[in-house]
Structures are given as C-alpha cells and as structure tokens.
Amino acid sequence: MAVIALAGCSGAPGVTTSALALLLSWPLEAGRRMILAECDPDGGAVLHGLLQGTLGDRYGLRNLSVAARKGEFSDAFWRQLIDLSGEDGGKESPRDRLLLPGVTDPAQSASLGSVWKILAQMFHGIEAESDHDVLIDLGRSGAYGPSGVLAEQADAVFVVVRNTLRCLQAAEGRVRALEERVGDVSVLVINEGPYPAGEVQRVLQVPVVATLPYAPKDARVLSDGMEQPRHFTKSPLMKAARTSSTLLVQRAALRRARLDPRVVHATGGEVTGAR
C-alpha cells in the first residue's frame, strides 16, 4: 500500500478536488481504509467546500498541535478524522474513506512546526502496519518549508498540472524544485488545455502517470458541495479517478522497489499504527 502526496502550483490546478475524487473512488478491499489528509499550510478547503461548513471547525490539523504537546497525538489523530464514505453516492459503507481536515486559517500553521514530522511518521505507521493508503493534499505550498517533510517521506509525489500554457509555465519551476527536494516526481494532468500528455512530459521532463478530465460541473460537487447529480459515481471524472488511483499506486510501488527504502516505523511509543 502507499503514502502518496499531491502538490500543486499556480494556475488553479485543482489539487484538493482531484484528491477528493481519488479518495471517493479509490478501490478498497475489505478491511482497508483510505485516508486523505489536507496538509496545505495555506488552509484546507473541504470543511467549507464539500461539507458546506456543516461541521464548523471542530475537526482538523490545528487540534493536533495541542495533542502533540500533551503526548496524546495518536488518539487525537483518529478523533479528528471525518467519515466521507457516504459522499460517494449514498451507498452504505464501513468507515473506510476518511478525511483529516486542514487548518481553517493560514495563521494556524505557525503552531504545526512539530506536527508535520509526527504526521509523516504516523502515515507510514498506518500504511506499514495496516495496509491502509494515505493521500496527502499539500496544496500549492505544502511541499516546501516545515511541511515539506511530508513530501520527502511519501512513497511518491505527484504534481497536479493543467495542460494549459499558463499552468505548464508555472509548473516547470515547481517540478525542478521538488525534484531537488524529494528526487523523482510525476505528474497528474487535469485535461483542460490543448497539450497532450507527450507534450506535457517533454516540457516538464517528468512522466505523466494519470489524467483526469476537465469537468467543472462534476468538480463543483467536490470543491463546493454542489448537489450531486444522478450517477455521479459513474461520471467521467469519477471513472477516471478510479483508473488514476490504480496508476498512482503502481507508480508508488515501482518507486519504492527502485529505491529499496527501509520500512519507516513510528518511534517513541506515541505514534503507532492504525486502529
């Protein structure tokens, strides 16, 4: 299983919307979970987007900084997760698609300096001990600064890029900077523009692993909590997300095999695996 990070760039690439589509369509065997963590220091979007503010700000990263100081991080982490299993069309489902909401104010990120590293350890503990997958939404800036440890310790990092001239131009510098920090990166394309995958690869000099369609109407269900149309789970966006999830996991597995990384276990007795 895998810990996968999604990073963005300027040009409104749609990292969080893509992450939600992947979360809700990720193929899960019985007993496995998928966890999406909003780790953008500039602020999360799901609480007031998909969830329309119905849960207030009771959940989220900001509560973990206090728990870390008290030595209660592991228990607090699981209490902060929101079950999104029912957001995929109303089907009854076990608690297997979970969200850790991000901060609601960028100023809250200042208190998370010690949390990012503990989270990185936690994610690998969850993945290694329980075969759960973790998807990290780093937004536009989360792959840098203190939160960059999440990208460094992920099994694979994907830059979300729209295949427009504006976004490709912005992505070049971002891809190079990420390569310096984490090694090889890959691309997830939002197919809005005229450039095919081969041209995107030529410009960015990194592989395009998966593509999602540009589908504003369906995307607004995830980004803004718009009413879900009939057969949403069978929409081109969600079908492509299912295919993409498999491709992302395969890429992560190949990278792990190539690098032969040591299995990362959380230490210190505080950060443990899944429940």
The range of the structural domain enclosing residue 123 comes to 3-259
pLDDT of residue 89: 43
The confidence score (pLDDT) of residue 264 equals 41
Which ranges of 80-162 does DSSP label H, i.e. alpha helix? 115-130, 149-152
Give the whole-number percent of the chain exceeding pLDDT 90: 67
Q: Is residue 271 part of a domain?
A: no
What's the Cα-to-Cα distance from 132 to each of 3, 28, 175, 234, 274, rounded to whole Å?
9, 9, 28, 24, 8
Residue 269 lies in a domain: no
Q: Residues 130-154: what's their mean pLDDT?
A: 92
Q: What is the pLDDT of residue 129?
A: 77
Is 270 a member of any domain?
no
Nearest alpha-carbon partner for 148 in 188, 100, 109, 107: 109
b/e 21-30 (16+ beta carbons within 10 angstroms → b): bbbbbbebee
**53 within a domain of the structure (yes/no):** yes
Top-confidence residue, 134 or 126: 134
Mean pLDDT of 82-96: 67
Question: For residue 65, which of 18, 109, 19 has the smallest C-alpha distance?
Answer: 109
Coil/strand/helix, residue 208: strand
Highest mean pLDDT among 57-66, 92-101, 215-224: 215-224
Interval 86-112 mean pLDDT: 78
pLDDT score for 37:
97
Question: 39 by DSSP, 3-state: which?
Answer: coil
What's the pLDDT tens digit per position in 56-74? 878 989 889 888 888 899 9
- The reported pLDDT for the residue numbered 93 is 52
The pairing of beta strand 186-191 with beta strand 133-137: unpaired
Q: How far apart are CA 68 and CA 268, in angstroms?
A: 12
Has residue 34 been placed in a domain?
A: yes
- Name the least confident of 79-88, 106-115, 193-202, 218-227: 79-88
**Residue 219's pLDDT band (cuts 50, 70, 90):** very high
Total number of domains in the chain: 1
pLDDT over 70 (residue 263): no
Least confident of 150-154, 210-214, 268-272: 268-272
Per-residue confidence (pLDDT) for residue 255, from 0 to 100: 87
| CATH number (domain holding residue 32) | 3.40.50.300
